[in-house]
Amino acid sequence: MPLIPFRCLLLGGLLTAIPLMGATVQADEPRARLNVQAEAQLDVVPDRATLSARLWERTPAIAPHDEDTDPDALRQARDRLEERAAALIRELEEAGVERDDINAGSLSVQPEYVPAPRRSDSDHEMLMRTRLDRPFQVRVDDLERLPRLLDALTAAGVNAMDGISYDLADRDAATDEALVKALEKARHKAELMARAMGVSLGAVTNISETRSPIYAPRMMAMSADARESGQAEYRPGTIVIEAGVSVSWEIGN
């Protein structure tokens, strides 16, 4: 092939490629976008509660320099604790609680130090005893029964009531509702901003979650009427679920 025609062919190919490259660069130019962040809060009335309580027994206090706790004393304390635990479970079952809704925790054993009786002729001495502790959790699916179950725990002689925690039987449904509410709020904000600026919303280009669901149970409250009457009225309040999203739209004139 002659040299001159080949050079002409090469030059023609380059001239043809330049407009195509220009079109590609123009197509890759970023389009204007509208970025919106929105948060939503959902107040949900709880439909489930968990009561937490503890039983414990102690061995007689002895001087720390003495031998370890008497095995018989430890066994007797444990037997007393198991008897009380069985009585507590019976009390709850009589109150209508299913066995599967009662969680009897593991037994824990720990030393306790208490001051010995003061004597005028000796220094103040510390004594040691062993405490056997067993926690209980009771799930309540009907909150109307809550006062009755608290009375049952009190009648069973629990040593400590560790409180009531409220929850939702279907957390996923509540989380989905909060997320949809946040997305709807984001779209409302975007449409409002677009109208104010005289532009139109295009396709959604990005959606992301900015806040994971946060459960914030409120403490139960007692009404003024209940305090005056002396009868407890338990109100769980609401569980607050918060959701946050970030959404981007293309915009045009």
What is the reported pTM? 0.67
pLDDT digits (tens, 9 = 90+) for 201-211: 999 999 999 98
Cα separation, 133 vs 110, in Å, equals 8
The span from the CA of 140 to the CA of 52, in Å, is: 11
- Mean pLDDT over residues 145-154, rounded? 89
Asked if residues 164 and 217 have their Cβ atoms less than 8 Å apart, the reply is no
Measured in degrees and rounded to the nearest 5, phi and psi for residue 54 equal -140, 145
Residue 195 or 127, more confident: 195
Instruction: Give the chain's domains with CATH numbers.
Output: 29-45+171-252 (3.30.110.170), 48-167 (3.30.70.2970)
Where do we find the tokens 């979650």? 209
DSSP sequence for 103-170: EE---EEEEEEEEPPP-TTS---EEEEEEEEEEEEEEES-GGGHHHHHHHHHHTT-SEEEEEEEE-S-
Chain mean pLDDT for the chain: 81
Higher-pLDDT residue of 40 and 19 is 40
